[in-house]
Amino acid sequence: MTKRIGVLLSGRGSNFEALAESVATGRIPNAEIAIVISNKPDARGLERAKARGIETRLIPSKGLEREAYDRQVAAVLHEYEVDLICLAGYMRLLSPYFVAEFPQRILNIHPSLLPSFPGLESQKQALDYGVKVAGCTVHFVDENLDAGPIIVQAVVPVQDTDDEHALSERILKEEHRIYTEAVKIILEGKFKIVGRRVIRTA
């Protein structure tokens, strides 16, 4: 049966685009992106979704209390009967209500090797700290920030000449690759969670 993915985003949407391309080309088999939701009216990701003929919803968050907002988003995700929710540059904290509503069905991509550098401007945090390798992480979302069980990570070198832009670009390429890999693993159900560890199964 075709699995239905809901994507939440706030901006550029390059991770959404990578997922959409993987679905379209069968790298993520038996799946479709059922709905793309943004909290930002000017999110380029919304335009990218429309250009692919994917349904979109703008749900502005301004002035709404966190759980009240999340209830609106959850209602749309239920309406579209999604099996998996992919956060793709969704710059909002999720309420405990939302996380409990979709247990082990929310994934996030983060531009650092978690648990290093959670939160905002992770690439800048990595440069400022002086690490020699950086990377990205796809993980399950729980009620804590950038903290759920890790599904896939990728490492990139930090060059002496890097600025934030150069490092971000190098990481982003890997983000696009591992988000597809992680979604495929999860949708195929070929994993189990033992403690914090996501273990691949045949």
Under the binding rule (CB under 6 A), the answer on residue 109 touching ligand GAR is yes
Under the binding rule (CB under 6 A), the answer on residue 114 touching ligand GAR is no
Nearer to ligand GAR, 110 or 170 (CB): 110
107 and 138 Cβ atoms separated by less than 8 Å: yes
Using CB under 6 A, pick the residue from 5, 6, 8, 14 that binds ligand GAR: 14
What are the strands, taking DSSP E only, across 23-102?
31-38, 56-58, 84-87
Nearer to ligand GAR, 105 or 124 (CB): 124
Q: Tell me, yes or no, if 110 is annotated catalytic.
A: yes
User: Helix or strand or coil: residue 31?
Assistant: strand
Which among 77, 32, 20, 27 has a CA at the least distance from the CA of 184? Answer: 27
Under the binding rule (CB under 6 A), the answer on residue 127 touching ligand GAR is no
Residue with tokens 């959404």: 16
**Rounded distance between C-alpha atoms, residue 68 and residue 82, angstroms:** 20
Using CB under 6 A, pick the residue from 37, 175, 178, 180 that binds ligand GAR: 175
| Residue 77: φ, ψ to 5° | -65, -35
Under the binding rule (CB under 6 A), the answer on residue 101 touching ligand GAR is no
Under the binding rule (CB under 6 A), the answer on residue 172 touching ligand GAR is yes
Q: How many CB atoms lie within 10 A of CB 67?
A: 13
What are the strands, taking DSSP E only, across 42-105?
56-58, 84-87
Under the binding rule (CB under 6 A), the answer on residue 110 touching ligand GAR is yes
Using CB under 6 A, pick the residue from 7, 69, 111, 178 that binds ligand GAR: 111
175 and 87 Cβ atoms separated by less than 8 Å: no
134-153 residues in contact with ligand GAR (CB under 6 A) are: 146
8 and 168 Cβ atoms separated by less than 8 Å: no
Under the binding rule (CB under 6 A), the answer on residue 89 touching ligand GAR is yes
Q: How far is the CB of 168 from ligand GAR (least distance, A)?
A: 7
Q: How far is the CB of 102 from ligand GAR (least distance, A)?
A: 18
Q: Which residues of this protein are in contact with ligand GAR, per CB under 6 A?
A: 9, 11-15, 45, 88-89, 109-111, 146, 172, 175
Catalytic machinery residues: 110
